[in-house]
Structure 1
Amino acid sequence: MFSKKKPLNPQCNEYLPSMENKALRHTQTNSRSLLSRDKTLEGVKRKVDYKELKGKDLSTAELAKKIEQLEVNLAERERQLLEKELLVDQVTRLSKPLSEQADNCQEDRLSLAKKLNELRTNIINTNHRMMAISAELSMKQAAALSLQQQIKEKELQMDKSQRRLEQGLSPYPEKEEEWRKMLQDKKRRQRDKEEKERLAEKEWRQLPNGEYTTAEARPNAYIPLNAQLPLPKPYGAQAPFKPSQPGTNMRHFRKPELKSIEI
């Protein structure tokens, strides 16, 4: 009868999927290689496209002649190169003392550069000052022109006022009232001055010794009350003084009230 298959080892069961994957990949790789080989064979059988260049090849004699010409040109270039090298050497030999002299004059160059910078700074500052002075001069000229215009206007106005004064009119028609008030004030001041002079002449008086004074006369003698004859008697050294006028501080004092005397 039929015999039963023996079960596989469990470890073999684990490797079965990986083996199947490897076989599948191998089959795919073989198919790709076959396709690429077919394409290569097709490319070999295909005709190659090319482009033919026009012209003709030179002969051996022509090539030799051309080579000789190139050698002549090369020799000429080498000769020119040697001449230039000699010229460079000569220029270098002549410029070497100048370079040494320039190196020795380094300090002089620095000092000259500093002086040049100072002079440049002074020139810039001088230019700024000149610009400021020119601007100020322009302002002064404009002010002078305006003042000259005002002077001309005032001169014309003065001539006009002078002519009106000669005619007996006020200098300015628009200020006639002020002119009238000014004349009245002038007359009033003249009258006050004359009045003061007149009063001053009256206040002056002559003393017994011949001098003139404006001081108020004070008594230098008195008449005794009990004297038989009313003859004045001089005060002497202890003459009474005249009380001064009460000042403004008297307003702070109350005036005393006189009480009536009852007998």
Structure 2
Amino acid sequence: MLKIEMSEEGIATLTMNRPDKRNAMCDALLQQIDGFFSDVPKGVKVVVLTGTGGHFCAGLDLSEHVERNAEDTMRHSRGWHKVLDQIQYGGVPVVSAMFGAVIGGGLEIATATHVRVAEPSTIFQLPEGRRGIYVGGGASVRVGRILGADRMIEMMLTGRKYNAEDALALGLTHYVVSEGEALARAQELARQIASNAPLSNYVMIQALSRIEDMDKAGGLFTESLCAALTHTSPDAVEGLQAFLQKRDPKFG
């Protein structure tokens, strides 16, 4: 269900491969994603996450819905939170290549990635209100921080669908490309990110979203710690020398 391809440049492309289900998320696929991000293979610098069959991910596979009591439902939701935290904070930059359905849990997964690329066919939706349920995979925080509470409430109440251009304006995606070009653009961006200093990438992933949770003084102090850590690294020395010598840096 999860297809993994590795390149010599350290790019791992993960493809959610359930085309007959529009790549809807079942527990088995979620566990495979968790397994990868819990123990990222050595040498992986950047991950590209995508779907197949014309869709990114249509959300939770409701055909495999298991009736749960309140406790089990909460544990299932917290399991999603654990996996998506692994994607966001696993220390490896993740670029998503999106097309077709990015719905419900699919949007929750996408917003756990760091760079998002969408094709014109992409549809962003949180339809939980139409199904009598509420989001459980992190959308309240991740999507809510992008859209703001007011717009997210409207999106959930109405089941509104946003297209790629809408999503670009709102911040749900960072790039819109022509049809069929999302994966190539995502891999191009992944190679660019992979050429950065590994420590800088790691610190940006770990620090920035956490700083958003802090008060001003705590955020500024954390910024100083991150600056101290990166500015005194061997890669910082190489980056400065490369700039002065007008060449591309070669980071460790």
TM-score computed with the length of structure 2 as normaliser: 0.15
Q: Which has the higher strand share?
A: 2
Higher relative contact order (CA 8 A, sep 6+): 2
Bigger Cα Rg? 1
